[in-house]
Amino acid sequence: MPQLVTLGETFTVMVPNQSGPLRYVQSFYKVVGGAESNVAIAVSRLGHTAGWISRLGKDEFGAFIYNFLRGEGIDVSKALFDETAFTGVNFKELREGENSRNYAYRRLSAASQMNPNDLDAKYIQSAKILHVTGITPALSDSCCAAVFAAMDIARSAGVTISFDPNIRLKLWSLETARPILHKMAESCDIFLPGAKELTQMYPDQSTENVVDKLMNKGVKKVVIKNGDKGCRIYSTQGIQEIPAFVVRCVDSIGAGDGFVAGFLVGQLRGLNDYKSGEIANAVGGLAVTVLGDIEGYPTQEELDNFIRKHPVVDR
């Protein structure tokens, strides 16, 4: 059984062969992308086992995603093929000097039909970590119910729950999202928001107050991602600032998922928070050096070489 289990939607991502508005783009190439499967892939490349729960359309894009993830070593045995819905597609738009833009076609997709009946309780209970994001509950009421059902199963079995809010305002408003994201944050063991996301979730509250409230609810670690400034970790080991590595950013998409995977790998290995944060910064740093969601995620050998050769930001 996989050490890490996650659930959510994965797209076929169409990447243009030129930059500029999509109306002028003539050709694309296809890759795979999705926050939760991104984490699973990065974990797998670093030598740990990962499983992915979702629905795919019984179509060519669904077959492409299924085969690609399986080729990356992901256990896709709990991915269901839906004959009545399609696999979501996401188009990237590249602009020079800017982050890539994304246009997702996912309404009524197969993954948006996920529900609690799709879950195998024993599969989740056997994992060491269940990883969830704030994207999946935004897809539909049944997806939201599936996420909370998975968290309940994990909690009852003592499985560590990791939560990245991954706020997507194209899917829902902050007013709608906050109560759900708050509940997820209060129910997890490891909370991994970006600095901006933490402010979006808890406006007019200091970071310290938010952390105190969450830890009083039972959250064990709050890991705040802060891009090229590194990360800050709050836990029983104290407050730790882990500086970022110096890299040239080509495409920032996928960096946060890589960061999460790196931190969770550190936890799976029983490393302390600082070392876990260092791995997280390294995987996130490598992710931005190439175009694409998962193309920059390293193997263990590549990670070791990167950490040895690259300086961290001088603070």
Label residue 37 exposed, middle or buried (CB < 10 Å: 0-12, 13-18, 19+).
buried
Q: Which of 75, 257, 273, 293 is catalytic?
A: 257
Pairing assessment for the beta strands 101-105 and 129-133 based on DSSP bridges: unpaired
Helices (H), 188-312: 195-201, 207-216, 255-268, 273-287, 300-309
Q: Is 228 designated active site?
A: no
Nearest CA to 166 out of 39, 19, 308 is that of 39
CA distance 183 to 201: 11
Calculate the CA dihedral of residues 289, 290, 293, 298 and round it to 10 degrees.
-70
CA distance 30 to 291: 13
Residue 85 in tokens: 């819905």
What amino acid positions are annotated as catalytic residues? 257
